[in-house]
Chain A
Amino acid sequence: MNQDPFEGRSVIQFSDERDRRAFLKYAALVGVGGSLAAALPMTKVLAATSPSPNPSGSPSPSGSPSPSGSPSPSGSPSGSSQFGAGDVGILNYALTLEYLEAEFYQKGLAANILGDDAKYITPIAAHEAAHVTALTATLTKLGATPVTKPTFVFPPTTFTDKATFVKAAVTFEETGVKAYHGQVPLIKDGAILGAAASIAGVESRHAAVLNYLAQMPPVPNPVEQHATMDETVTAIKPFLGA
């Protein structure tokens, strides 16, 4: 059952082409630093027990000094993206994903298709909405501008039956988990790291429960995988406006 619940259609439509380009550019910018763990003994061990290898494309140079969270590798224009650089950029990236999840669940619940499973999914919807609120408030407090909510377009079939919806939810949650874990080594501020991790753990709970509801393996790996911003954007690209 590899059926794409979205049938290859877009779920995200940025309000204009500039926003979309900024999103993609930013993804490339931050993605460069995301493959830190590839040379790790632990990830090697875990990769050996995992069905899929470490997803962060290129291995980091062995013994290379960690960039310690600096998300502005040379050659990329930093600070020009609407998301901003550094922790602020990461928070805005997270906010974008949370917006997507929040609207997805809001519509799923409104469609009244979930039956008994609504009891598991109603709290998830509340969590995603809380993440949007918290990330927005944090960005504002930092003096940064929270990214505006993109316009999302979901294929009509997404909300017509439970199986399709739950499968789509699995996709979103697994993408979210990997996205957060991809940023873990890049976050500079300890408090923001803790906050992001505390959200990531909740996304992991969601992913487990939704996989369970979808009759899919709820713990596909013994360690969470991680994805760079690039990889995350690629994962949701089928859903991005062409």
Chain B
Amino acid sequence: MLNSIWNRRSFLGRTAIGAGAVIGGSTAIELLSTTRVWAAAEGSDGDILNFALTLEYLEATFYERGNATSLITDSREKDIFATIQKDEEAHVQALTDTLTKLGVAPVAKPTITFPAATFATRESYLKLAMVFENTGVGAYLGQAGSITNKDILQAAAGIFGIEARHAALIGVISGATPEGGIYKGATETPIAKADVLAAVMPFLGGMPNTGFAPSQQSLNLLPTGLAIAGAAAAVVAFRTRGSRKPQQ
């Protein structure tokens, strides 16, 4: 699906337009020594919004369950977690409405499962929250160059920034190292869709009607995704599935 002729054509079309427009891709290297993810279109805007919707469902459900525990006791921290939950729920709603307006069927909410250890301690909750938020940041950024509709781009960028705020705040609450924990350098790093999917797949019990059900390709990338996400907690979740051991 990702490599369909249709997507390939639209990618080439975009490239032609973009390249004519002023600046070659080498420019961004000045700013972005690390990446190139937006060089590859990864689907239509509808596909991208549904991809985002799946991630937002995952995040919203994660905070709904986590905030129902009493792991976070400090009142200010509780406020922040409540805000984050509301933000993710707002993102789900906004993406759903936007897809509907576009005439694209929103993906159904996937079955989401978290390993029991996820909500066992404050530390385990914070750790997975860090992973989800930073993966979300990279996921949105990875799609920036693929979104064709400027209104959707604006809105997706607006959500992306909020995920970055969440990531930083959870870093602060976790007592993470400022550089490398709260912040991830002077620029955010995009993550390719396949890698994002690989990182979150262990939590998605079933993804009906998504259009991006786990392809063999994305499954093969699983270790990569986990490495990118730096996902200690995801590794735990992955082990609980028992089918494969992540490579370190």
Contact = CB atoms under 8 A, between A and B. Distances in A.
Interface string B23-67: 111111011100101110000000000000000000000000000
A111 interface: no
B123 interface: no
Contact of A45 (B25, B31, B93, B151): B93
A218 B80 contact: yes
Contacts of B162: 204, 219, 221-224
Contact of A185 (B37, B80, B150, B160): B150
A191 B30 CA distance: 10
A66 B148 CA distance: 11
A191 B27 contact: yes
Interface string B170-192: 00100000110011111111100
A62 B137 CA distance: 30
Interface in B52-99: 80, 83-84, 86-87, 90-91, 93-95, 97-98
B169 interface: yes
B175 to A, nearest CB: 11
B166 interface: yes
Which secondary structure characterizes the binding site on chain A?
helix
Nearest to B95: A42
Contacts of B127: none
Given A120-B182, A195-B31, A207-B165, A226 B154 contact: yes
B22 interface: yes
Contact of A201 (B27, B90, B155, B188): B188
- Which of B23, B149, B152 has most A Cβ within 10 Å? B23
Contacts of B37: 194
What size tier do the contact residues of chain A reach? 35 or more
A195 B153 contact: no
Given A43-B155, A195-B30, A222-B162, 8 more contacts: A69-B150, A120-B178, A197-B141, A198-B35, A203-B161, A205-B183, A208-B168, A218-B80
Interface of A: 36-37, 39-43, 45-46, 49, 66, 68-69, 86-88, 119-120, 122-124, 126-127, 130-131, 134-135, 137-138, 141-142, 177, 181, 184-185, 188-195, 197-209, 212, 217-219, 221-226
